[in-house]
Amino acid sequence: MACPDVKERPLKIYFIPFLAAGHIIPLSDIARLFASHGHNVTIITTPSNAKILHRSISTNFHVHTIQFPFQEVGLPHGIENLSDATDLANLGKVFEATKLLQGHMEHFVEQHPPDCVVADFLYPWVHDLANQLGIPRLAFNGFPLFAVCAMEALKQHPISAAASSHSYIIPGFPHHITMNAAPPKQIMEALQPLLDLELKSFGLIVNNFEELDGQEYIKHYEKTSGHKAWHLGPASFVRETTLDKAERGINSVVSVHECLSWLDSKRDNSVLYICFGSLCQFPDNQLHEIACGIEASGHGFIWVVPEKKGKEDESDEAKEKWLPKGFEERNKMKGMIIRGWAPQVLILDHPAVGAFLTHCGWNSTVEAVSAGVPMITWPVHGEQFFNEKLITEVRRIGVELGAGEWSPMGFGERKKLICREQIEKAVRRLMDGGDEAQEIKQRAQEFGKKAREAVQQGGSSHNNLTALIDELKRLRDSN
């Protein structure tokens, strides 16, 4: 069907997402937004990552695949993105492989130049490529603007090593935000040149809506960086049907029917949803504390635990040493453990879900906000500690669990154990009822309403998308 927005020639836009579920999912949903306005989009990725996108394909939504260099980096077949890697060595190899993709990707783009390229900031080489072709580049990093502003602030006013071991205030910020954890030095050093290069792009695409980041941070960003951010989200709303939402990302290990009918049998707001995204893997002693904490809270739960790839001859029991004896028997009526990938957006959308214990990955956060679900925050790595502050202190739609250890990655050694009492206390704070919990829930629902309005005709994200498309057409046609 011809789309009313495309009065003239549609735009041809390439999207190059980084190879991690938390980057591919939102960027491909954003690509679909452009496609839904009648423009021709192509996602450039590798074969197994292309399978994640399979359902998204429509006549103006294309996927161009480039072979993943398994042999060159020494990875077994099947590990083709960061979310598949379960140890640091493989994680490093996936990064290595993404570098090897550069030449092939460049070749494809040069041979069939688009009107615009939208690329993950982890692909800095797209900057030169876009310049050489004389086309605009839009950057994407998967963070909310609030976190980008926080990182920029720390770049401009670095905190001393001494201060970073205590609490510190984010310098020059619209709100007085006290941080209890500092990003690992090596992560900031790796990110800073990429963030600098991002500022040289035509604009930054943000999977958020203006009302959640807030005008104060949009203005702060424009003023301190001189750069333009385009809030186009929440992108997950582009998926409307249950099937489409269920097949977002990797196929779920539980049937959607089983999951939803289990939730249907529960009272509204009675179930805690627990998931730490696609990368985070806690050690056994931490999983054990989570199990004890949620059981002690007495609340119903759905808990997503990444599948453990133990030794082949290891029994299921040995692989799951962390599970307290008799846990599943005792909690048969109350709880469900999903070992592997869950249909997260559908779960969050269900009225039985009363709160979300989250690692504050930005996609998970904005999905919870879209569903009006308040959060219990347990950040682990990346920009998640900044996201936590936006949720708990700025918008006050969640409570902090009290995590203070900023890991370099989502897995590996951890110094601190979050104990069961801390987990139980935070769950009760939001799930036991009471005035504070009520107020937080109400605010979360108001933001859920604002999120839905943002993507509708006349809403902030809808308007931004139309303005960005107009701007890109103007640029193309002026050349």
Annotated catalytic residues are 23, 120
Nearer to ligand UDP, 157 or 257 (CB): 257
Q: What is the DSSP letter of 30?
A: H
Q: Is 364 in the site for ligand UDP (CB under 6 A)?
A: yes
Among 16, 25, 126, 272, binds ligand UDP (CB under 6 A): 25
Q: Report the residue number whose CB is nearest to ligand UDP.
A: 22
Smallest separation, CB 26 to ligand UDP (Å): 7
Residues 367-386 within binding reach of ligand UDP (CB under 6 A) = 367
Tokens of 364: 């998970």
Binding footprint of ligand UDP, residue count (CB under 6 A) = 19
* Interface residue with ligand UDP, options 140, 143, 362, 378 (CB under 6 A): 362
> By C-beta, is 31 or 342 nearer to ligand UDP?
342
Nearest by Cα to 64 from 13, 30, 137: 13
Instruction: Report the residue number, 248 or 450, with the smaller CB distance to ligand UDP.
Output: 248
User: According to the binding rule CB under 6 A, does residue 22 interact with ligand UDP?
Assistant: yes
Site for ligand UDP in 285-344 (CB under 6 A): 304, 341-342, 344
Looking at 149-157, 361-369, 386-394, 425-433, which segment touches ligand UDP (CB under 6 A)?
Answer: 361-369
Stretch that binds ligand UDP, among 273-281, 323-331, 349-357, 385-393 (CB under 6 A): 273-281
Q: For residues 444 and 374, what is the distance between their CA atoms, to the nearest angstrom?
A: 5
Question: What is the CA 152 to chain-centroid distance, rounded?
Answer: 20
Q: Does residue 21 belong to the site contacting ligand UDP (CB under 6 A)?
A: yes
Closest CB 348 distance from ligand UDP, rounded Å? 8
Provide, rounded to whole angstroms, the least separation between the CB of residue 72 and ligand UDP: 25
Dist CA 156 CA 365 (whole Å): 27
Is the peptide bond between 17 and the residue preceding it cis, with omega within 30 degrees of 0? no
- Give the burial string for 247-272 (b: 16+ CB within 10 Å, else e): bbbbebebebeebbebbeebeebbbb
249 binds ligand UDP (CB under 6 A): yes
* Residue 26 or 459 having the CB closest to ligand UDP: 26
Beta bridge partners of 139: 119, 204
User: 123-129 long-range contacts, Cβ below 8 Å, gap at least 24?
Assistant: 123/16, 123/18, 123/98, 124/193, 124/194, 124/197, 126/16, 127/197, 127/200, 127/201
Q: How many beta carbons lie within 10 A of that of residue 22, not counting itself?
A: 23
Report the nearest approach of ligand UDP to the CB of residue 384 (Å): 8
- Window of 90-98, 161-169, 272-280, 392-400 that interacts with ligand UDP by CB under 6 A: 272-280
CB of 243 to ligand UDP, least distance (A): 14
Q: In 170-324, at which residue ranges do the beta strands (DSSP E only) sit?
A: 178-179, 203-206, 229-231, 271-275, 300-305
| Distance in angstroms (rounded) separating the CA atoms of residues 93 and 84 | 11
Tell the smallest beta-carbon distance from residue 253 to ligand UDP (Å): 8
Q: Is residue 65 within 8 Å of 46, Cβ to Cβ?
A: yes
Q: Which of 363, 392, 407, 464 binds ligand UDP (CB under 6 A)?
A: 363
**Residue whose tokens read 């941080």:** 179
Q: How far is the CB of 29 from ligand UDP (least distance, A)?
A: 9
In the bound state with ligand UDP, the residue whose beta carbon lies nearer, of 201 and 364, is: 364
The whole-angstrom separation of Cα 260 and Cα 138 is 38
Closer CB to ligand UDP, residue 403 or residue 472? 403
Of 277, 293, 300, 354, the one binding ligand UDP by CB under 6 A: 277
The number of residues making up the chain comes to 479
Q: Which stretch binds ligand UDP (CB under 6 A): 18-26, 307-315, 370-378, 385-393?
A: 18-26
HEC secondary structure over 86-152: CCHHHHHHHHHHHHHHHHHHHHHHHHCCCCEEEEECCCCCHHHHHHHHCCCEEEECCCCHHHHHHHH
Residue 61 as a binder of ligand UDP (CB under 6 A): the answer is no
In angstroms, what is the minimal distance from the CB of 10 to ligand UDP?
28
Tell me the H-state helices in 255-331: 256-264, 284-297, 316-319, 327-330
Q: Give whichever of 249 and 398 is closer to ligand UDP, judged by the CB atom.
A: 249
Residue burial 426-435, b: 16+ Cβ < 10 Å; e: rest: bbbbbbeeee
Which spans of this chain sit near ligand UDP (rule: CB under 6 A)? 21-22, 25, 248-249, 275, 277-279, 304, 341-342, 344-345, 361-364, 367
